[in-house]
Structure 1
Amino acid sequence: MDTAPPQDAPELTYRDAVEADVPALVELVQSAYRGDSSRAGWTTEADYLQGQRTDPEGVREIISAPGSRLLAFERDGAIIACCQLEHRGDAAYFGMFAVRPGLQGGGLGRRILAEAERLAVAEWGVREMHMTVISIREELIAWYERRGYRRTGKTSPFPYDDERFGVPQRDDLEFELLVKELVVKDLQAAAEREA
């Protein structure tokens, strides 16, 4: 599914998100997962979740939380992707990962994930990356498995009673924990390949 970016593609840069980025980040995350705009990409959840994916308060919490970073990835000054990294002891948590729908499938997500793993090791010395994915998202889970993540079978309930996370359209949603062991030399080599 991923292909190499064109040789003349603008440079991808990233930085820590700030308060002024909140509206753009909410719109980005919403566009990647919910509503008709999300159907332009392959990460859509529109068939089984309606409503919002996040809100300004949720984004602000991630930006300001101790041990947490929300990275804004830009091309030509426009935010086109984001991800959250949170330090949790010997592991880092990877979340709020979104790539603008029209840019999905071109290798951008793979590059961002590799950089997030490298940063987690470099900054916090963690040995594992954790994330949760809705367990019925087989195509998305397979994408992560191709990048070294493994299913743990450990699940947590979807917050059905909290519309801040969306309005479920089915009653079998739950999150599954995916884990990847982070090996420093492997991450350095991967980051060099993706650059």
Structure 2
Amino acid sequence: MSKELSSEQREELLRTLKARFEKNLNRHKGLEWAELQARLEANIAKLWSLNEMERTGGEPDVVGYDNKTGEYIFYDCSAESPKGRRSVCYDREALESRKQHKPDNNVIDMAADMGIELLKEEQYRELQQLGNFDMKTSSWVQTPARIRRLGGALFCDRRYDTVFVYHNGAESYYAARGFRGSLRV
């Protein structure tokens, strides 16, 4: 798969991102679209990753700005876990450990292929400060190595107006569990 967007695809993505930016100003107070657009246009490879986030249902939006690095921070802001990234186990080791009924892919490889990072638990909680996400679905989050070594992986969701962190076997997968990513541009 080509990791380049045509000029038409770039323009369409920028229109989509601008509309989402303007519709959700509460997510990025104090940031200006013109500055962000200039940054995006100067980072074509990052635009491809944002397009992958969009293509798989993530609805990426700016949630912050890093004053130290000058980078804008995008998270998947879809109401539910992105549809194009569900029914996947945690990582390649978990995928290979399944003897039957293997999912098509795993979270860690998918995120790497897309050029994005899997949200950490803290980032997931930050996202939940901006709205109510994963009210019906759940999302895998980065799992500490000590938990993963023991065969587990972590996921989060929001129920009863509370963000919950749970564990499951890393090889498990469910139609209602996907993953959310972040990207710095």
Query: What range describes the TM-score normalised by the shorter chain of this pair?
Result: 0.3 to 0.5
